[in-house]
Structures are given as C-alpha cells and as structure tokens.
C-alpha cells in the first residue's frame, strides 16, 4: 500500500515517535540523552519549532512538537541524522539506529494538547518502570512540575489551563497527569484510528486541515505530473530523464521513490518511459530513501517535487 505524503500545517501540533531499529536501544547513558536535549534546543532555534512535551525511553522517543513555517520533516530529519551519527560514533558502530522514518500524527491542539502531554508523560508508567511520572528523569514532566529547568521547553500553553499562581498551576497539572494513570495505551495518538492516520481530530478538523492552503490532500499522482515536476526541480530537458548522467540518475531514483509512496502511477509505467528495468528502479528508490535520512538536501528535493505536483493537480 502506498505511503501517504506528510501533511505540513504551519503552527500545527504533532505527536512524533522515533523508534530504535529492531527495537534496539538508542540511548545508552546520560550523555546520550543530554546530547539529544542539545539537538532539540538547537532545532527550536534553527527550525522554529516548539517542544511542548517529550519522553526519552531507552529504545524510543515521544515528542509533542509544534511547528512554525518550516515543515516538520526538515527538523526531524536533522535531529535523527545528527543524533544517529553521535550514537554510532560513541558506540563504535555503523548502520541504522532508527527504524525507518519517524512517525508523526498532526493533532487538534485545542482538543488534544493537554491529553497528549499527559499521554507522553505517562509512558514510563505504562512501561511498568515507575509509579509516578516525576520519578522518571528523562521526560518533560519534572520541568512542568518545577523540579528542573529546561529553557527550550514550552510549558506556558499547557500550564495556563490550570489557573492560579505558578506553584498551584504546577500542582494541578501534576494531579491531572496522575488522573490519567488508568488510560493505558491510546491508539489514536499513534494514528491507528480515524479516517486518516496522519491526523487526529473530529471530521471538521480533518477536513479543514486537508483543505488548507499548503496542505497536500491525498490525490493520485499521474505519471505526466510526476515527470514534469521532477524535470522542473532537477532542471532537466525533455528526454534527459532517460540519460546516463548522474543528475538524471538521481532524478529517476527520486521519481521512483515518489511513485512507490503514492497512488496513480506505477514503477512499471515509469520504467517504460525511462527505459529502465522496474526492479532496478525499485532498488534505486530504496537507495535514495536511505540516503535521504542522511542528506537533508534530498528530503528538500522531494518536498519541492511533491509541492509542485500538488500545484499541477490543482
């Protein structure tokens, strides 16, 4: 089944999940987690996103991230690439640290901000490791409760709901989180329920997001539009997409990657037009997807192509 494209919604709140490859550990000591903190802080400055909540478990991460005008993909690509490079260097290893792409669900801030923050803070409790979220050192709960200071963490919108003096708001927030102990696993925060796995909210919210300017509704991608967008972004002339030069090779690989991820055009159709074998194009698509995890430029190229396709379809 084709993978749906990311939805970028300026000011949108996302539940982001990063998991270790084969469920292996991604954090090995405190220094690793402090490095992740540093990368999050740098991301808030460089990409303009805000972190409302986080929880760093040994083999996975939960984040509540609110973006600005820069798409979430750019910040998360940079975060995962730089942290993986750090962890592999410290462990004298190579290979993939994370299991595929990060997962992100765009949630209705008004309806779910509080419950998402609570859900993230209760992750150590659901894992059976602790009885109170304040006992776990590597989540944002302690900062919310005033037990530590994290200047890059955004707590004001959540704490503002619990009116009163600062200490009262923090105490009421802690009680609110503890009241959720019986919730258990919430599949909706993982994109398992609903009409669109990328979005969490009522029908009005989902429809409005997909209709917003700059958000891509899932539509079939025709081969004509795909090739037109790829040629434009890569600056190729009419028949150069079939040539043997390096630029054309990357462009074909990018086209194959997008074709595999969307509906409307197949690898077989692309292979026929470009004079390549379908299996070769599929392999090229996998290789460029792996490269894109390390080279932000490739993720940016893909974003430009998909945005241009959307404009051609409109």
State pTM to two decimals: 0.66
- Say whether pLDDT at 220 is over 70: no
- Which class would CATH give 223-313? mainly alpha
By mean pLDDT, which of 7-21, 55-69, 108-122, 200-214 is the weakest?
Answer: 200-214
Residue reference for tokens 């469920």: 23
CB 281 within 8 A of CB 252: yes
pLDDT value at residue 101: 80
Reported confidence tier of residue 264, pLDDT bands at 50, 70, 90: confident
CA 243 to chain CA centroid, nearest Å: 34
pLDDT value at residue 309: 83
Highest mean pLDDT among 49-58, 164-173, 232-241, 291-300: 49-58
Q: Between these two residues, 202 and 20, which has the higher pLDDT value?
A: 20
Q: How far apart are CA 212 and CA 152, in angstroms?
A: 29
pLDDT value at residue 199: 61
Tokens of 125: 């409790």
Q: How far apart are CA 14 and CA 52, in angstroms?
A: 10
Q: CATH 1.10.1750.10 residue ranges in the chain? A: 223-313
* Domain 13-211 CATH superfamily: Transposase IS200-like (3.30.70.1290)
Reported confidence tier of residue 1, pLDDT bands at 50, 70, 90: very low
DSSP assignment of 57-125 equals -SSEEEEEEE--SS-HHHHHHHHHHHHHHHHHHHHT--S-SBSSS-EEEEE-HHHHHHHHHHHHHTHHH
Could you report the per-residue pLDDT of 2-40, keeping only the tens digit for each? Answer: 456 677 778 889 999 999 988 899 999 999 999 999 999
Q: CATH 3.30.70.1290 residue ranges in the chain? A: 13-211
């Amino acid at each position: 089944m084709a993978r749906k494209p990311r939805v970028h919604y300026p000011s949108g709140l996302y539940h982001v999940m990063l998991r270790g490859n084969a469920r292996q550990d991604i954090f090995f000591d405190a220094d690793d987690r402090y490095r992740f903190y540093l990368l999050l802080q740098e991301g808030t400055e460089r990409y303009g996103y805000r972190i409302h909540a986080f929880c760093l478990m040994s083999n996975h991460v939960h984040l509540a991230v609110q973006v600005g005008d820069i798409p979430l993909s750019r910040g998360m690509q940079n975060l995962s690439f730089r942290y993986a490079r750090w962890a592999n260097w410290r462990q004298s290893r190579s290979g993939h640290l994370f299991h595929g792409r990060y997962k992100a669900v765009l949630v209705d801030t008004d309806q779910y901000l509080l419950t998402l923050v609570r859900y993230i803070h209760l992750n150590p409790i659901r894992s059976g490791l602790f009885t109170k979220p304040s006992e776990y050192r590597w989540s944002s709960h302690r900062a919310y409760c005033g037990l530590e200071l994290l200047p890059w963490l955004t707590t004001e919108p959540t704490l503002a709901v619990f009116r009163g003096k600062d200490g009262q708001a923090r105490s009421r927030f802690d009680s609110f989180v503890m009241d959720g102990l019986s919730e258990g696993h919430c599949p909706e925060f993982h994109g398992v329920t609903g009409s669109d796995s990328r979005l969490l909210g009522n029908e009005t919210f989902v429809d409005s997001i997909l209709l917003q300017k700059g958000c891509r509704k899932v539509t079939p991608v025709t081969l004509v539009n795909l090739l037109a967008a790829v040629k434009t972004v890569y600056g190729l002339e009419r028949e150069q997409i079939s040539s043997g030069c390096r630029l054309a090779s990357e462009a074909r690989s990018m086209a194959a990657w997008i074709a595999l991820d969307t509906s409307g055009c197949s690898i077989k159709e692309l292979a026929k037009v470009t004079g390549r074998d379908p299996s070769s194009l599929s392999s090229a698509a996998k290789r460029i997807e792996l490269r894109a995890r390390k080279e932000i430029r490739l993720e940016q190229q893909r974003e430009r192509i998909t945005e241009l396709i959307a404009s051609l379809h409109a």
